[in-house]
Structure 1
Amino acid sequence: MSVWSQVVGQPEAVAELQAAAEHAAHVRFASEGPDEGRRRSGGMTHAWLFTGPPGSGRSVAARAFAAALQCPRGGCDACQVCRTVIAGTHADVHEVATEGLSLGVKEMRAVIERAARMPTTARWQVVLIEDADRMTEQASNAVLKAVEEPNERTVFLLCAPSEHPDDVSVTIRSRCRPLRLRTPQSSAIAAVLQERDGVDAETASWAASVCGGHIGRARRLARDENARQRREAVLAVPRSLRSAAEVFAAADDMMAAADAEVVALTGERDEAEREELAVSMGAGGTGKGVAQAQRAAKAAEKELEKQQKQRQTRTKRDSLDRALIDLAGYYRDVLVRGFGAEAAATHPDRAIEVENAARDGSRESALRRLEAVLACREALETNVKPQIAVEAMVTALRAG
Structure 2
Amino acid sequence: MSVWDAIVGQKPVVEQLKAIAGGDPKAIAQSWLICGPPGSGRSNVAKAFAAALESPDHGLNDEPTKATRDILAGTHPDVTVLSTNKVTIGIDEVRDLIGISEQMPGTAPWRIIIIEDVDRMLERTTNVLLKEIEEPAEHTIWMLCAPSAQDVLPTIRSRTRIVNLAVPSNKAVAEFLMRNVNPTLPDKERFTEHVAARAARLAEGHIGVARLYATNERVMTDRDELVVGVLNLTRASDAVLLAGNLIDNAKGQAEADVERQAARAEADFRRLNGLGEKDRIPPNLRGAYNQIAKKDELKRQATRRSRDVLDRALNSVASVYRDVAVVQNNAEDAVGLINLENRAAIAELSIRLTRDGAVRRLDEIATARRRLAGNGNPTLLFEALFCALIP
TM range (shorter): 0.7 to 0.9
Task: Say whether 1:225 aligns with 2:217.
Answer: yes
Shift of 1:244: 2.0
Mapped partners of 1:309, 1:46: distance in 2: 39
The correspondence for 2:172, drawn from 188, 207, 210, is: 188
Deviations 1:302-328 (A, max 9, x none): xx7776565344322211110000110
Which letter does structure 1 place at the counterpart of 2:329?
F
Cα distance in 1 for partners of 2:329, 2:209 equals: 29
Structure 2 unaligned blocks of 5 or more? 183-190, 270-280
Moved more, 150-159 or 126-135: 126-135
Residue matched to 2:185: none
CA spacing shift, 1:268–1:182, aligned 2, 3 Å: closer
- Output the amino acid matched with 1:84: D
1:132·1:159 contact (CA, 8 Å) conserved in 2?
yes
Q: Pick closer, same or farther for the CA change 1:280–1:307 going to 2, 3 Å.
A: farther
* Displacement of 1:123: 0.6
User: Match for residue 308 of structure 2?
Assistant: 318
- Give how far 1:121 is off: 0.2
Q: Would you say the 8 A contact 1:47–1:175 is kept in 2?
A: yes
Structure 1 residues 313, 104: CA separation in 2 closer, same or farther (over 3 Å shift)? farther
Partner Cα separation in structure 1 for residue 135 and residue 298 of structure 2: 35
Q: Which residue identity lines up with residue 29 of structure 2 in the other structure?
A: T
Distance 1:392 1:115 in 2: 48
CA contact (8 A) 1:100 1:311 kept: no
Change (3 A) 1:103 1:373: same
- In structure 2, the partner of 1:108 is 94
Q: Alignment identity in percent? A: 36
The answer (yes or no) to whether the contact 1:96–1:128 under 8 Å persists in 2 is yes
Q: 1:259 aligns with which of 246, 251, 254?
A: 251
The partner residue of 1:146 within 125, 129, 132 is: 132
C-alpha distance in structure 1 between counterparts of 2:377 and 2:305, whole Å: 15
CA distance in 2, matches of 1:148, 1:9: 31
What SS is found at the alignment partner of 2:58?
coil
User: CA–CA distance in 1 between the matches of 2:208 and 2:153?
Assistant: 27
Specify the SS of the correspondent of 1:317: helix
CA apart distance, 1:332? 0.8
- Per-residue deviation, 1:241: 2.3
In structure 1, the partner of 2:350 is 358
Change (3 A) 1:102 1:337: same
Secondary structure of the corresponding residue to residue 335 of structure 2: coil
* Aligned equivalents of 1:240, 1:171: Cα separation in 2: 48
The 3 A distance-change label for structure 1 pair 255 and 270 is same
1:66 aligns with 2:50: yes
> In 2, distance between residues paired with 1:215 and 1:336?
23
- 1:236 is paired with a residue whose SS is helix
The alpha-carbon deviation at position 240 of structure 1 amounts to 3.6
Within-5 A mapping of 1:297-336: 311-336=301-326
Moved more, 191-200 or 59-68: 191-200
What are the residue-to-residue correspondences of 1:337-352 with 2, within 5 Å?
A: 337-341=327-331, 342-352=334-344
Judge which range, 311-320 or 328-337, deviates more.
311-320
Query: Is this contact kept in 2: 1:100–1:313, CA < 8 A?
Result: no
1:97-120: per-residue Cα shift (whole Å, max 9, x none)?
Answer: 112222212222222211210000
Matched, 1:96 2:82: yes
Q: 1:125 aligns with which of 100, 106, 111?
A: 111
Structure 1 residues 203 and 45: CA distance shift in structure 2, 3 A: same
Distance 1:306 1:106, change over 3 A: farther
Pairing of 1:199-278 with structure 2 (within 5 A): 199-267=191-259, 269=261
Output the amino acid matched with 2:323. Answer: D
Alignment partner of 1:155 out of 95, 117, 141: 141
Provide closer, same or farther for how the CA distance between residues 383 and 322 of structure 1 changes in structure 2, counting only shifts above 3 A: same
Offset at 1:52?
A: 0.8
Q: State which structure, 1 or 2, has the greater radius of gyration over its C-alpha atoms.
A: 1
Kindly provide the amino acid, as one letter, of the partner of residue 55 in structure 1. Answer: G
Specify the code of the residue in structure 1 equivalent to 2:308.
Answer: D
Q: Which residue of 2 aligns with 1:386?
A: 378
In the alignment, structure 1 segments of 5+ residues that lack a partner are 28-38, 286-296
1:7 shift after superposition = 0.8
SS in 1 for 2:22: helix
Root-mean-square deviation (Å):
2.6
Matching residue's letter, 1:249: L
How far 1:349 moved relative to its partner? 2.7
C-alpha change, 1:283 and 1:8, in structure 2 (3 Å) is closer
Letter paired with 2:82:
V
TM-score normalised by structure 1 residue count: 0.84
